[in-house]
Amino acid sequence: MTMSFYPLILAFLIPPILFLMSWWLSNRPLTSINKLSPYECGFDPKNNARMPFSLRFFLLVVLFLVFDIEIVLLMPLPLTINLNPLASLITAASALTILILGLIHEWNEGSLNW
């Protein structure tokens, strides 16, 4: 065998050996019915799935998602401000204005009152 086949042999032998060692040496925890059951948002998975859902919680989640999207849209602003400062400023100001107007509307509507 020439010397160039050794890395290829190692590439095919090492992953299965490591997989088998990790499987053999793993610490398998004792399973119970509680560990095997799914956990979703504090709801008991063994109860009826047709329980009423809190509308206030849903509104809070929607608000959280809206402001997360705002952060994602405004994150590249420092990178684009060097390319065209005026367009970046107008874009950021318009996005923030729309979001602030939406927040004022939700505040006046009473969606933020718990």
Query: CATH code at 28?
Result: 1.20.58
* Inside any domain, residue 70: yes
Q: How confident is the model at residue 89 (pLDDT cuts 50, 70, 90)?
A: confident
pLDDT in tens, 5-59: 788 888 899 999 999 988 888 776 667 776 666 665 656 666 666 667 777 777 7
Q: How confident is the model at residue 67 (pLDDT cuts 50, 70, 90)?
A: confident
User: Considering its fold, how many domains does the chain have in total?
Assistant: 1
Per the structure, the complete domain to which residue 7 belongs is given by 3-109
- The pTM of the whole model exceeds 0.85: no
* Inside any domain, residue 114: no
The pLDDT assigned to 107 comes to 86
Distance of CA 59 to the CA centre of its chain: 18
Reading the block at residue 37, the tokens are 């059951």
**DSSP bridge pairs for 97:** none
Query: What residues contact residue 22 under an 8 Å CB cut-off, 6+ apart?
Result: none
